[in-house]
Amino acid sequence: MQVTAIPTTPKEIRERIRGREIPGYTSGMAPGYVQANLVVLPKNLAFDFLLFCQRNPKPCPLIEVVETGSAEPLQTAPGADIRTDLPRYRVYEYGEMVAEPEDISEYWRDDMVSFLIGCSYSFESALIRAGISLPHFEKGTNVSMFITSIETTPAGVFAGPMVVSMRAIPEDKVVKAVQVTSRFPAVHGAPVQIGNPEVIGVSDPTVPDLGDPTEFNDGDVPVFWACGVTPQAVAMQSKPPLMITHSPGHMFITDLRDEDVAVL
């Protein structure tokens, strides 16, 4: 039996995902490359959603918006196909999930606009490189997420509360965590809150609204970052006739290196 070499470039990984050779979560694949959340909406909602992202760059940092009707992200992954190159998708009709397929070709329409939105994997890698341990990242559990009292800036039909992710950071690493993530505005950037959960409407940082609970060690400070679940939740609220997203954890792997989207 022939052993295939472990693919290392984003292009190779996307091709093997397309060929159904690699199923499952993309976390840890193509380390050093930017992974993205996917939101696909009909053109008649695309202006409002693009404007929503422009007005809310922390929860909705746009990596690329693909030309209407096209499935090829020319800027960040030329040659890729949005419809086949993610391991799993979710298809929503009028706000209800109707399928969770491995391929969305049959759902594709010529009026669809695909939005690739930054994902926290890039800044989590940077935190780990900076010596800040992230147990959920190592254990393969989900980060804790909270629906906050922070209102996003509305745009057209889109509005709603900001969702944040939380990490327990040792007190002496909090400044470093701010510095490291500030370099990556394209993947949510600097935190939105440090150490005072109630200020953003979070009553208990050990009981998340979404994802898994986080264990706190003595001296750990809860630090909150804007989360890419926000745009999905907000888009869903408009109950579009058709909306397609990645399935949680099954991201789109771009050709961009983390450093390509870093500032300074």
C-alpha to C-alpha distance for 16 and 116, rounded to whole angstroms: 20
- State which residue, 51 or 236, has the beta carbon closest to its own copies: 51
| DSSP string across 41-87 | EEHHHHHHHHHHHHH-TTT--EEEEPPTT----TTT-TT--TTTSSS
Asked if 79 is part of the footprint of its own copies (rule: CB under 8 A), the reply reads: no
- State which residue, 82 or 202, has the beta carbon closest to its own copies: 82
Instruction: Using the structure block, give the residue that is written with the tokens 């693009």.
Output: 50
Cβ burial 62-90 (10 Å sphere, 16+ → b, else e): bbbbbeeeebbbeebbeebbbbbbbbbbb
Query: In the complex, what is the shortest distance from the CB of residue 84 to its own copies, in angstroms, rounded to a whole number?
Result: 24
- State which residue, 61 or 222, has the beta carbon closest to its own copies: 61
C-alpha to C-alpha distance for 81 and 220, rounded to whole angstroms: 42
First to last CA, the chain: 48
Spatial CA neighbour of 260 closest among 153, 180, 196, 184: 184
| Candidate residues 70, 75, 133, 142; the one interacting with its own copies per rule CB under 8 A | 75
- Mark residues 40-69: x for contact with its own copies by CB under 8 A, - for none: ---x--xx--xx--xx------x-xx-xx-
Query: In the complex, what is the shortest distance from the CB of residue 45 to its own copies, in angstroms, rounded to a whole number?
Result: 10
Query: In the complex, what is the shortest distance from the CB of residue 158 to its own copies, in angstroms, rounded to a whole number?
Result: 12
Spatial CA neighbour of 251 closest among 5, 92, 21, 22: 22
Query: In the complex, what is the shortest distance from the CB of residue 151 to its own copies, in angstroms, rounded to a whole number?
Result: 13
Helix (H) or strand (E) holding 167: strand 161-170
- Integer angstrom CA distances of residue 122 from 16, 84, 186, 245, 262: 22, 23, 9, 20, 10
| Candidate residues 23, 156, 219, 241; the one interacting with its own copies per rule CB under 8 A | 156
- State which residue, 22 or 262, has the beta carbon closest to its own copies: 262
Asked if 109 is part of the footprint of its own copies (rule: CB under 8 A), the reply reads: no
Query: In the complex, what is the shortest distance from the CB of residue 231 to its own copies, in angstroms, rounded to a whole number?
Result: 14
- Mark residues 181-210: x for contact with its own copies by CB under 8 A, - for none: -xx-x-------------------------
Say how many residues touch its own copies, by CB under 8 A. Answer: 21
- State which residue, 50 or 256, has the beta carbon closest to its own copies: 50
Binding region for its own copies (CB under 8 A): 43, 46-47, 50-51, 54-55, 62, 64-65, 67-68, 75, 153, 155-156, 182-183, 185, 263-264
